[in-house]
Amino acid sequence: MSYNATQLHLSNPNANAIALAVHVFSWIMQFIGHGVAEKRAPKLFDNLFQGLSDQWANGSR
């Protein structure tokens, strides 16, 4: 059985907190993965502005 964001929001008053926790956990795991698998820091650490603006630019193409 699937469970989507709308169902979570309607059935759980803490839906936003859960979503934030999952989002933060995912970012942390991504940074750990860069260190373990790639043995280098993510490009986001090289230039924060460039990293964020590249994501925006690539999403609009």
Provide the pLDDT for residue 58.
64
Q: Is 5 in contact with 19 (CB distance < 8 Å)?
A: yes
CB proximity list for 30: less than 8 A, separation 6 or greater? 42
Domain of residue 28: give its range: 5-59
Per-residue pLDDT tens digits for 6-61:
888 899 899 899 989 999 999 899 888 888 888 777 766 777 777 667 666 666 55
> Distances from the Cα of 19 to the Cαs of 14, 26, 60, in angstroms?
9, 11, 25
Split into its structural domains, the chain has a count of: 1
Q: Is 12 in contact with 18 (CB distance < 8 Å)?
A: yes
- Evaluate if pTM is beyond 0.75: no
Distance between CA atoms of 41 and 52, rounded to whole angstroms? Answer: 16
